[in-house]
Structure 1
Amino acid sequence: MRKKIVAGNWKMNLSLEEGQSLHKTINSELEGASANCEVYHFTPSIYLTSLINEDQKVQVGAQNGHPEKSGAFTGEISMSQLKAIGTQAVLIGHSERRQLFNESDSFLKEKVDAALSEGLKVFFCCGESLEQRENGDYNTTVVNQLKNALFHLDSTDFQKIVIAYEPIWAIGTGKTASPEQANEMHQNIRKSFAHAYSKEIAEDISILYGGSCKPSNASDLLTQSDIDGGLIGGASLKAEDFLAIISTYK
């Protein structure tokens, strides 16, 4: 049975006080409730030590990490440093890192290897642009992103990955892939795993949807056959909205 996961990506938002309040509220609401899905907060790195507590319902992850263990990389934080403070997971390959910081598939591959070597859970993002969607290259684009950064892993390490499919054209634009479009892409991703590894492994990997998911469309999206949860952006910044999405799996 694949794990259902709802993960909030705060991006570069919220003050420390606001973040602490949000994190506390979500944990409090989930306390004592039967957990039908795993819940994560991916927070700005400077907030990690203030939010990490192993006894909490909400696991805490980093939005980024550098593949080198140490060295002259001013402003970067290594995977080993993230692990040392108790970070449980890390986002790799988010479209904003690819587009704004020019992170290549080969660099993301290094990040994946470094994160797994430290025992961090990897949430690997993939997705296509509007142009790639409209010209029909979307499936090839996404599968190549996965192949280039992940398919060198052996089956044991590969099963430690969570995939987040994020159609770039549906992030922060107000546009959303239809439930059918999103599910079709998730099915194609799963087929690529079956081809590269096995059908059994493909069926065990959680694939999240990450494109403008909000309370009004969460049920339609997250209950599709091959969608195992959501990587939530703007709606994760408000406790009421985030809890409403989590409740999809109540």
Structure 2
Amino acid sequence: MRPITVIGNWKMNGSKAACRQWIDTVCAEMEKGMPAGRRFALCPPYPYLSDCSQQISACSSASLALGAQDVSAEMGGAFTGEVSAAMLHEFDCKYVLVGHSERRDRFNESDRLIAEKALQALDQGLTPVICVGETADERNSGRAVEVVRAQVARQIAILQDRLVDSLLAYEPVWAIGTGKVASAQIAQDMHREIRLQLAEFNADVASHIGILYGGSVKFDNAVELFGMPDIDGGLIGGASLDPQEFLAICRA
């Protein structure tokens, strides 16, 4: 059985006070018990990683892990503004998002660059969460599967067997921050396409890798989404800012 993984992505939101309150609330509830076979993580903005790391490590519950929202494709050197995987490892990050649609769109990140970031994360013992997904125009023109398969194919070509130590996240761009959500069946259909594509490469990778869904996930739709056979959890955006909503999704 693949575990259900729920990751909160705060994007460029939050504050030191909000982080403290959020972690206090979430850890206190997780210490009371959470469903078995599940993993949970928070990806706050870079400036809050240190405080969040210390606070999470002080929790008696080991359920919540820390993640980052991006990582450099370089090991180190003259790359002003970049943050390396080794630096994230020092803050006890377990996960790192790579290739989020906002990074692809606004910062022109290519599939090759995303794979190189994933490799850096893997080299430091982090689990990269590799995001793929189509725009509204690509879906409306009937190219959704073609586009997502091309994105996954580049990850397979570069990461090869190391892909099994990653997570994939299918996030249709038209459902991110819009309030729109792919129906559970639409999401399942794409997750199934991804898993079948992975099976063409390596059946073991296909059966073991977790594929998360991201795109306006809330408690109201999480139950149905997580019940689908090829959906292994969620990458939660806006809803993760509310600790009670995040906890409800974690229990879904």
Residue equivalent to 1:22: 22
Deviations 1:124-157 (A, max 9, x none): 10000001101111111111111113433242x2
Inter-partner Cα distance in structure 2 for 1:229 and 1:39: 10
1:6 counterpart SS class: strand
Pairing of 1:1-250 with structure 2 (within 5 A): 1-36=1-36, 37-52=38-53, 53-54=56-57, 56-155=62-161, 157-198=162-203, 200-248=204-252
Equivalent residue of 1:125, what SS?
strand
In the alignment, is the contact (CA less than 8 A) between 2:68 and 2:95 conserved in 1?
Answer: yes
Distance 2:185 2:65 in 1: 30
Work out whether residues 35 and 251 of structure 2, in 8 Å CA contact, stay in contact via their aligned partners in 1.
no
C-alpha distance in 1 between matches for 2:155 and 2:79: 22
Whichever residue aligns with residue 235 of structure 1, its letter is A
Give the residue type in structure 1 aligned to 2:123: S
Name stretches of at least 5 consecutive residues in structure 1 with no aligned partner.
none
Q: Distance in 1 between matches of 2:114 and 2:158?
A: 12
- What is the Cα-based RMSD across aligned positions, in Å? 1.3
In structure 2, the gaps of 5 or more residues are none
SS at match of 2:48: helix
Q: TM-score, normalised by structure 2?
A: 0.94
How far did 1:34 drift?
Answer: 4.2
> Deviation per CA, 1:33-56, whole angstroms, max 9, x where unpaired?
144210010111111111114464
Secondary structure of 1:8's partner?
Answer: strand
Deviation, 1:195, is: 0.4
- Alpha-carbon deviation of 1:204? 1.2
Q: 1:150 to 1:27 in 2, by over 3 A?
A: farther
Q: Which whole-Å deviations, capped at 9, do the CAs of 1:8-64 have from their partners, x for residues lacking one?
A: 000001111101211221111011414421001011111111111446421000001
Contact 2:225–2:231 (CA under 8 A) maintained in structure 1: yes
Q: Contact 1:151–1:196 at 8 Å: present in 2 too?
A: no
Identity in percent? 41
TM-score normalized with structure 1 length: 0.95
Counterpart CA distance in 1 for 2:82 and 2:158 is 25
User: In the superposition, relative to structure 1, how do residues 49 and 35 fare at CA in structure 2: closer, same or farther (>3 Å)?
Assistant: farther
